[in-house]
Amino acid sequence: MSEPNPARLVADADVLAADMLVGGDARDAMDIVRGHSWVELVASDELIDDAEAVIRDLGNDELALDWRGKIEDLRTEVEQTPGDHPALASANAGNAAHILSYDDSLRNAETGIALQGRISVSVKRPDGFVNLFDPESLYDVVVGGEYPGPDRDVRN
């Protein structure tokens, strides 16, 4: 098992949909990705499909298609084994250190024990990620040098 990349994360479908439809802590977490070119969102097609379906159901087709185009530009695509949980499979395939999810079953001790030895990943709610993720201290480890601050506009 290789060490996960601390600048790679997976946002579960619920977080991706909340970012688009609600804002709040989901948007704050995704703004970290959108604002830093060196922080990567990894996601399988299945994960993106799940989020798109939620956005379509709660919004409309046009909103879902617009969202899909933007997330395709942002994400690093990974393949997943059919039948696997999209967020867990994406984290494993993308060597991500973080999964952001509102799904309590992904954050319980039973899941943690099941993942032990297979994948080294931290599952957090978006607000927990925002409170703990420190781009400034991580920048020197991942990129090297002095942290210049966000290098992309979060609203593009």
- Over residues 128-148, the pLDDT tens digits come to 999 999 999 999 999 999 999
Span of 25-39, 62-76, 87-101, 113-127 with lowest mean pLDDT:
113-127
Residue 98 carries which side chain, given as an amino acid letter?
H
**Residue 146 resides in a domain:** no
- The whole-number pLDDT of residue 121 equals 83
pLDDT at 1 over 60: no
**Residue 48 resides in a domain:** yes
Q: Which two tokens stand for residue 12?
A: 């579960």
For residue 112, give the CATH number of its domain: 3.40.50.1010
**Residue 101 resides in a domain:** yes
Rounded mean pLDDT, 67-95: 94
Mean pLDDT of the chain: 92
Q: Other CB atoms closer than 10 Å to residue 108's CB: what's the count?
A: 12
**Residue 148 resides in a domain:** no
Biggest CA-to-CA distance, the chain: 44
Burial class (CB in 10 A: 0-12, 13-18, 19+), 60: exposed
**Residue 82 resides in a domain:** yes
**Residue 59 resides in a domain:** yes
**Residue 39 resides in a domain:** yes
pLDDT at 156 over 80: no
**Residue 74 resides in a domain:** yes
Q: How far apart are the first and last CA of the chain?
A: 36
